[in-house]
Amino acid sequence: MSRKSKKSDAATPAGAATGLFLLSSLAVLLACLSILGVRLCNAPALPWEQMIPIGVYLVGVPLILGWLKITGWKGDPGLPGAVFLLCGMGLVVQFRMGSFAQGLARPLALLPFPLGLAAFFVGVTVTGKGRGRWLAGTGWLAYLAAAGVFAVMLLLGRRFRGGIYMPGHMNPSEIIKPLLVIFLAAYLSRRQKDFSETQVGIPVPALDSLLALIFLWALPMMFVFLLKDLGLMMLMNATLIIMLFAVSQGTGYLALGLAAVTAAGFGMRVISSNVRNRFDVWLNPFADPTGKGWQTLQALCAMYSGGAWGAGLGSGVPQAVPIVTSDFIYAAMAEELGLFGCAMLLMVYAVLFSRGFRAAGATRTPFERLLCVGLTGSLAVQTLINVAGVTKALPMTGVTLPFISHGGSSLITSMLIAGLLTGLSDRK
Across residues 162-173, what is the average pLDDT?
A: 69
What's the mean per-residue pLDDT of the chain? 84
Across residues 296-317, what is the average pLDDT?
A: 87
Question: Each residue of 374-423: pLDDT tens digit?
Answer: 999 999 999 999 999 999 998 888 889 999 988 788 999 999 999 999 99
pLDDT at 388: 94
Question: Each residue of 252-267: pLDDT tens digit?
Answer: 788 888 888 788 777 7
Please count the other Cβ atoms lying within 10 Å of the Cβ belonging to residue 66: 12
Is pTM beyond 0.85? Reply is yes
Across residues 318-326, what is the average pLDDT?
A: 84
Q: Would you list the domain boundaries of the chain?
A: 3-424
Across residues 202-228, what is the average pLDDT?
A: 88
Across residues 347-357, what is the average pLDDT?
A: 94
Question: Each residue of 89-121: pLDDT tens digit?
Answer: 888 888 888 788 776 667 777 888 999 999 999
* Residue 34 pLDDT greater than 80, yes or no: no
